Amino acid sequence: MFGFFPKLPTCSHSPLAAVMSLKKNLFFFVCQGTRDYNPKQMAIREKVFNTIISCFKRHGAETIDTPVFELKETLTGKYGEDSKLIYDLKDQGGELLSLRYDLTVPFARYLAMNKITNIKRYHIAKVYRRDNPAMTRGRYREFYQCDFDIAGQYDAMIPDAECLKIVHEILSELDLGDFRIKVNDRRILDGMFAVCGVPDDKFRTICSTVDKLDKMPWEDVKKEMVNEKGLSEEAADQIGEYVAVCVAGGMDLAERLLQDHKMSQSKQACAGLSDIKLLFSFLQLFQVTDKVVFDLSLARGLDYYTGIIYEAVLTQAGVAAVSNEAQNGANAEESVSVGSVAGGGRYDGLVGMFDPKGRKVPCVGVSIGIERIFSIMEQKAEASAEKVRTTEVQVMVASAQKNLLEERLRLVTELWNAGIKAEVMYKKNPKLLSQLQHCEESGIPLVAILGEQELKDGVVKLRVVATREEIDIARTDLTSEIRRRTSEA
């Protein structure tokens, strides 16, 4: 416990001076890539979480939890080149442990360990990555993931289409701006690599490089393939021809690739393309094809994907719309600039890696990029004149005269016992003006005012803070009146 506290600096003057010296230097003890959240930020986060959880539950998901750390061997070899970003913990008496990198691998381990063959689950928890933080773009070393996964043997593309429907619902409800959901299939990529002349042992590493196309121009991607990964220039050029022209399509693009002389020679690619066509037929029924595009340049670098993959990104128009709402004077670095805001795919082989007999459980899922969404929502809140409430208090119990502390405490107790969210000022004789100002500053909509006359008459004066309207309510009717008025707000 005491190991978490930094050592007090040596100071020859006094303990107080030492504490003040520590206070001045506290920023040295804040870890890079982490942050604190104030009440306003937490209120925004809670609203976003509620939207996401409500969507997950609407689609029939139940929730689980797993430990924040796993055996190192559980995580090793699952993330491709990103495995170097795993946080390893100090050897704990022979156990090599690591902080979880995502929620998918622990979920697969959970399924295998508990012999679960079908479940629809969501999981919201923190994960950890030794990444280079970019705080203004919502990239941290400690951050939340919001995952939705469907495990079990089902007919092709039905669960996959529902995952995309969920992404569409969440991003639409959060009103982040215009977005696109790009889809591809690992089998199509592997087939493309094969017909372009990529050696089998380079599939995964070339896939990781293709995954950088949304961040780097093609020439830089090609240079990495050839100079760093050892791919022939001819093979790289053939990949470039495909990814350059095969973007932003749908069923028509899948059909065109099925007719392509080279791609049609790959059974893997043909199976993936057929499933893409089937996927889009379900997406039409789910009414989300306006935002979904088939993009052959989408790769997603994680090793465990086996089939359909997808990623949701804000369009430049969407990002610009948010940035234009920012306060005047914000520089380019402070404005919102985000990458993908959701991603996922099918991973049919991952559970089998943890099962002693290698039994597979087909899985497909999506992870919402919650921190990037928070960055956007926070900037929108800063630019907006709308006040963000940080509490849910429905009514303030106030007094108009002195010596009414006991009466205020009796009334607030009645309200609490009735399930009303209420607050009282912690002073014996607070000024009425101070109590009313507190309500305006905190966004509390109602004030229940007690005075000598109200006590004699058995009523409470209920004041609507926004309009300053005041009405006398019988004390027996106060709870129902508060509920009625706050439900209408």
Q: What CATH number is given to the structural domain containing 239?
A: 3.30.930.10
Confidence band, pLDDT 50/70/90 cuts, at residue 214 = confident
What's the domain count of the chain?
2
CA distance 184 to 250: 10
Could you tell me if residue 21 is inside a domain?
Answer: no
Question: For residue 135, what pLDDT band results from cuts at 50, 70 and 90?
Answer: low
Do 372 and 406 sit in the same domain of this protein? no
| Domain annotation covers residue 211 | yes
Within-domain flag for 5: no
Q: Is residue 136's pLDDT more than 70?
A: no
* 159 and 264 belong to one structural domain: yes
Same domain, 406 and 332: no
Give the pLDDT score at 80: 72
Predicted local distance difference test score (pLDDT) of residue 327: 44
User: Are 190 and 267 in contact, with CB atoms under 8 Å apart?
Assistant: no
Write out the binding residues: 102-104, 129, 145, 149, 300, 304-305
Confidence at 333, pLDDT banded by 50, 70, 90: very low
Q: Is residue 10 in a domain?
A: no
Q: What is the identity of the amino acid at 299? A: A
What average pLDDT does the structure give for the chain? 86
Which tens digits make up the pLDDT trace of 51-109? 999 999 999 999 999 999 999 989 988 877 778 888 899 887 788 999 999 999 999 99
- Which whole number is the average pLDDT over 344-365? 94
Same domain? For 55 and 190 the reply is: yes
Question: Span 442-451, mean pLDDT?
Answer: 96
Does residue 285 carry a pLDDT above 70? yes
* Chain-centre distance for alpha carbon 484: 34
Q: Are residues 400 and 375 in the same domain?
A: no
> How is residue 261 annotated by DSSP?
T
State whether 448 and 480 are in the same domain. yes
Q: Looking at the structure, tell me whether residues 406 and 319 fall in a common domain.
A: no
Residue 270 identity = C
Q: Are 156 and 267 in contact (CB under 8 A)?
A: no
Instruction: Kindly report the number of other CB atoms within 10 A of residue 219's CB atom.
Output: 9
State the average pLDDT over residues 362-380.
90
Residue 4 host element (H or E): none
* pLDDT surpassing 60 at residue 363: yes
Per-residue confidence (pLDDT) for residue 334, from 0 to 100? 40
* Res 420 pLDDT > 60: yes
* Residue recorded with tokens 């690992």: 186
State residue 276's pLDDT score. 95
Q: End of a domain among 338, 360, 383?
A: 383
SS3 459: strand
Question: Is residue 59, in this structure, part of any structural domain at all?
Answer: yes
Q: Residue 223 falls within a domain, yes or no?
A: yes
Which whole number is the average pLDDT over 254-278? 91
Residue scoring higher pLDDT (354 or 299): 354
**End position of a domain, from candidates 352, 383, 414:** 383
> Domain check: are 198 and 256 in the same one?
yes
- Residue-wise pLDDT tens digits, 102-133: 999 999 999 999 999 999 999 999 999 987 76
Residue 134 forms part of a structural domain: yes
Q: Which domain holds residue 442?
A: 395-488
Q: Extract the tokens encoding 416.
A: 């609490």
Q: Give percent above pLDDT 70 in the chain.
A: 87
Q: Are 187 and 309 in the same domain?
A: yes
Cβ-count burial of 179 within 10 angstroms (0-12 exposed, 13-18 middle, 19+ buried)? buried
Is 60 exceeded by the pLDDT of residue 2? no
Strands 97-99 and 446-450: unpaired
Residues 313 and 424 in one domain: no
CATH of residue 465's domain is 3.40.50.800
352 lies in the same domain as 408 = no
Examine the domain organization and report whether 323 and 210 are in the same domain.
Answer: yes
* pLDDT tens column, 137-178: 667 889 999 999 999 999 999 999 999 999 999 999 999 889
Q: What is the pTM of this model?
A: 0.82
Please say which residue of 383, 415, 443 terminates a domain: 383
What is the model's pLDDT at position 388?
86
Residue 17, helix vs strand vs coil? helix
Please give the distance of CA 367 from its chain centroid, rounded to a whole number: 7
Query: Which residues sit in the known binding site for L-histidine?
Result: 102-104, 129, 145, 149, 300, 304-305
